[in-house]
Amino acid sequence: MAEDAVAAVQALARRADRVCVLSGAGMSAESGIPTFRDAMSGLWSRFDPAQLASEEGFRANPARVWAWYAERKQAVRAAQPNAGHVALADYGRRRSGVLTIVTQNVDDLHQRAGWPQTIRLHGDILADRWLQPCPSGRACAVAQALPGEPPRCADCGNLLRPAVVWFGEMLPEDAMASAEQAARACELMLVVGTSGAVWPAAGLAAVARRAGAKVAILNPDASEIDDQAHWVLRGTAAVLLPRLLDVG
């Protein structure tokens, strides 16, 4: 580990007026939630995102997609925030008004660690929403679901789907606008546990850098946006964040 880089990030974390964190799946890996793109354990090495994380995939086989998300929901409910989530929330409380957390994660571990105001770019796996606006113009009402099937509207047949952003879908506008604002305003951006492969989230590191922030990447492996970093710290979220942020 480059000790001078650790010291530089610690010093900036201590004095910066605005710190923005962009987290990805690696943030929750040490809580036991699998990432997407790690070669052996990543979800996309075992499952096809076109089938499981797109509207077309859901329409083609709603039961398969619903069952896959049901399993992932259970894993999220069973998981606990790790030392990285806790270090971030503690830091945010100690340095009031300084921290913004922007996450690509659909779990609720930042929130449960004590940072309920986390900005979620990719939705919330524990919530559901209707697949389409009610075609009748009235509000949809959940009917009794068949076992293994997503619930349907009793009137129009509309399906419930997980409230996450799927491939090909827009990010929630308010969340993205708040994230861009935080990226532009920060003096330090910590990019934690993301491969940097998915846009527009990955572009936030460049937004921060262009606006004058120092960017530190925390990741045990190379990411696609390492070139945006002033410092690349090779290590895991649960080990590095307590070390970097326990700075008074």
Catalytic residues: 122
Q: How far apart are CB 17 and ligand OAD at their closest, in Å?
A: 26
Q: How far apart are CB 9 and ligand OAD at their closest, in Å?
A: 15
Element (H, E) at 57: helix 55-60
Is the Cβ of residue 54 or residue 181 nearer to ligand OAD in the bound state? 54
Within residues 28-47, the interface with ligand OAD by CB under 6 A covers 29-30, 35-38, 42
Q: Which of 20, 33, 86, 106 binds ligand OAD (CB under 6 A)?
A: 106
Residue closest to 119 by CA, chosen among 101, 96, 106, 105: 101
Q: How far apart are CB 25 and ligand OAD at their closest, in Å?
A: 3
Is the Cβ of residue 53 or residue 213 nearer to ligand OAD in the bound state? 53
Is the Cβ of residue 158 or residue 219 nearer to ligand OAD in the bound state? 219
237 lies in the binding site for ligand OAD (CB under 6 A) = yes
Residue 190: strand, helix, or coil: strand
**CA dist., res. 128 & res. 112, Å (int):** 19
Q: Which of 16, 198, 241, 244 binds ligand OAD (CB under 6 A)?
A: 198
**CA dist., res. 68 & res. 78, Å (int):** 16
Q: How far apart are CB 233 and ligand OAD at their closest, in Å?
A: 10
**CA dist., res. 185 & res. 72, Å (int):** 34
**CA dist., res. 122 & res. 163, Å (int):** 9
Q: Which of 31, 118, 158, 195 binds ligand OAD (CB under 6 A)?
A: 195
Instruction: Count residues binding ligand OAD (CB under 6 A).
Output: 26
The answer to whether the peptide bond before residue 200 is cis (omega within 30 degrees of 0) is yes
Sign of CA dihedral 203, 205, 206, 212: positive
Residue 27: strand, helix, or coil: helix
Sign of CA dihedral 6, 8, 11, 15: negative
Q: Which of 52, 193, 204, 214 binds ligand OAD (CB under 6 A)?
A: 193
Contact set with ligand OAD (CB under 6 A)? 24-26, 29-30, 35-38, 42, 104, 106, 122, 164-165, 193-195, 197-198, 219-221, 223, 236-237
